[in-house]
Amino acid sequence: MRTSERTFIYAALTIVVASNALLLLSAADRPALASAAAWPEALGPAESLTLSGADDDKELVLRNRNGRLSWADDHFSRAYSAGFVHISTVLNKLMTSPSREDERQQLADELTKTEQDFRNRLDDLQQRAAGLDQESPEFKALIEEGQRAFNEYQAWSRGAMARRNQLDAEQLETSYRALVEAVEVVGARSGIDIVYRFIPTGEDFKASDRGEALDAIRLRTALRYPEGLDITPEVLEELSLEAD
């Protein structure tokens, strides 16, 4: 190779190397194409997103159905958000509210007064029968009257128990309805679709026998859950109840 040709080639290589060096230096000052600044802030809007799978898998088409991610037209093929409420905490606070306690106390006072009237009546008959000849007509009449009074007391006692149970059932139902309404409000506000009742796994059983311990286990519907899904404090606040 002649000297003039070698001189030309060396000069060309020098220019190429210098140009590449300038490109590398300028590229160092620019963000990479994969950086966040190079991507748009949002993709879409798009009516659907199709995901392919393995060779034999059917394509999965994702869509928006009433604000829920959906992969089919039915309600079962949607992604729903979920939460948990410790209903025992809420119901206990509702059942011990002043208005409900007053209602129970009024019934208890009424029943106590009637029961005392029965006891006074039976005590009076017993005192009147004391010292009488058990074969006398007067004694037998008092015994019959006492039996009738005792039968009346037993019938009244069964009715009194039924009234107490009925009041408890009514108060539990109204408390439950109030709980559900509060859950509806909190759920709508927080975008929660499904709320499960549960008892925290760490709460003491407070069981005195095997049956109560088994009930405590059965009522703990969730064995593991993110603590952030427990909306009990929000429900208590909605009901104007203080959290423990």
| Longest distance between any two alpha carbons in the chain, whole Å | 159
Q: State residue 39's pLDDT score.
A: 57
Beta-sheet pairing, 82-85 with 194-197: parallel
Q: What is the pLDDT of residues 17-44, one digit of tens each?
A: 444 444 444 444 444 444 445 556 777 7
Whole-angstrom CA distances from 175 to 143, 169, 181 are 47, 10, 10
Q: How far apart are CA 132 and CA 213, in angstroms?
A: 56
Query: Phi/psi of residue 98, each to 5°?
Result: -55, -40
| CA-closest candidate to residue 232, choices 89, 96, 80 | 89
Q: State residue 73's pLDDT score.
A: 85
Give pTM, 2 decimals. 0.72
Q: State residue 93's pLDDT score.
A: 96
Q: How far apart are CA 46 and CA 61, in angstroms?
A: 12
Q: State residue 55's pLDDT score.
A: 72
Q: What is the pLDDT of residues 124-177, one digit of tens each?
A: 999 988 888 888 999 899 999 999 999 999 999 999 999 999 999 999 999 999
